[in-house]
A and B are shown apart, each in its own frame.
Chain A
């Protein structure tokens, strides 16, 4: 799991209207994913985006700007328990990097919040001084 859904699971107090999954498949294999989702009651909205039966959206991503290859990122993914499953999520630092590289307005808008959570997590786990700048 990548993008803001992964960020939310790691403590970023934000919201998103779709869940992004980075898949280790060539883009031309999107039909395999479509068949999988449709079999579960989902509806195709675009070649890589689907509405699931409950109305939530999922988006399949085949490459992420600013990051290494899937395999190289996957080994560093965090394992979290979620919905009774173990899921792999892209670490916040890597989400930050991918959003910084993507550079779209909606990505840039999330950067300060993600940065704050990275710092907050360090403080919460102990021993890091706030170097985010002076008090304002």
Chain B
């Protein structure tokens, strides 16, 4: 695959159009994830954890998680 980044997600999305077993929202999410660089993918992942107060083990313990 040519090197892409998150900003190129629409190009990837167009190629995912034939995917039959996914909703439009799922295709957009998948296109963003596939277009992103590994660093961008990791940033999205960490941002998600931070936004829910789940990034650090210590925060998760406070919320009742084992790990």
Residues on A close to B: CB < 8 A?
A: 8-18, 45, 49, 51, 54-57, 80-83, 116-117, 119-121, 123-126, 129-130, 132-136
Contacts and interface: CB of A to CB of B under 8 A. Distances in A.
Chain B interface mostly helix, strand, loop or mixed?
Answer: helix
A119 B54 contact: no
A17 B42 CA distance: 12
Contact of A132 (B20, B31, B36, B41): B20
B45 A15 contact: yes
Nearest to A55: B56
A126 B16 CA distance: 10
Which of B20, B21, B58 is packed against the most chain A CB atoms within 10 Å? B21
B56 A82 contact: no
Given A8-B42, A45-B67, A83-B42, A133 B30 contact: no
